[in-house]
Each structure stands twice: as C-alpha cells, then as structure tokens.
Amino acid sequence: MASAAWGEQHKELFASGRITYEPQDFFEPQPEGLKPGVFVLWRILHNWPKDACHKILKNLRSAATPETKLIIIDPILPLACADDSSADGATLAPKGSPLLPNLGKANAGGYYFSLTMLALMDGKDGTLHEYTELADAAGWRVERVVRAEGSLVGYMTCVPV
C-alpha cells in the first residue's frame, strides 16, 4: 500500500533501492541481511503495553546497524508539573513561562484518551521520560525530540547505543 501511495511521486527512490517497504511482524526478529537506514514507528508504541513495546524496540535494535536511526512518532504527554530535570520537549510551555508545563485544562483530552487506551487495550501515551526509559532499556538513545506545533504528537529520533 505504501509503495502504491508514494510510488508515482518518488519512482527513482524505489527503483534505486533507497526506499523499500518490508512487511514485518514486530514481535519476531527482523529479516537477516537488512541494513536499514531508518525504522519509522508511526503511532505504534502507544497501542501496546510496556513489555510489548520493549520487544518491538529490541527486535528493531537487533536488526539495526550503528548508523540506523529509529523515528518514533506518537503523542508525547507533557508533564503536568514542573520538573527541572526534564529534557527539551518534555513540556509544552515556553521556558520561564508561568504556565503549567501541560498548559492546564487545554490538553486534558490527551490524558483522557490515554486513560481510555490503558483501560481498553493496556496501551497508553507516554511522557518523554517514559519513552526515553523504554528506548534506553531496548538499546536506543533518544537524540532529538520535535513536537508538532499545537499538538501532543511529536517525533523522537533515536540512535543505537
């Protein structure tokens, strides 16, 4: 499906082999011989419990080369209270702002949605700290965090450690 959607616009990338789409089962080791430049997990981790997320990330790490990047695109819940140890991207409020880090009631919907997912599917949106811990435990380090302006969704670029 993905190559059909992108194929017409970027035929040269597919023809050269720079981009390939590989069907896969996250819970099985990745195929031997891959030399992936990047893995992209788009709204995947928030659907699964922590142990399943660890297995997904560990399987990808096993297939990664030292140059492979992992891009995780998921909602990143901002902290509700100030935390001076937080990395950039952990809060939505500008540095030095008197606003709550999660901007208060304006973002309550993200927390409600996460609680619903937890109750129904045993998955949940995580804070940057939670995603970082998960990545670290599977052999990845979060190197960069970028948030979509006005949204809880962001992407984290991870590198193998």
Catalytic site residues?
Answer: 46
Residue type, position 100, single letter: L
Where would I find the beta strands (DSSP E) of the chain? 38-42, 69-77, 126-127, 140-147, 153-160
Determine if residue 132 is left, alpha or beta; phi over 0 gives left, psi from -120 to 50 gives alpha, anything else beta.
alpha
Which whole-number Å values give the CA distances from 108 to 87, 92, 112, 149, in the listed order?
Answer: 22, 13, 6, 17
Residue 48 has, within 13 A of its CA and on its CB side, a CA count of 17
In 17-161, where do the E strands start and end?
38-42, 69-77, 126-127, 140-147, 153-160
Dist. CA 142–CA 157, nearest whole Å: 6
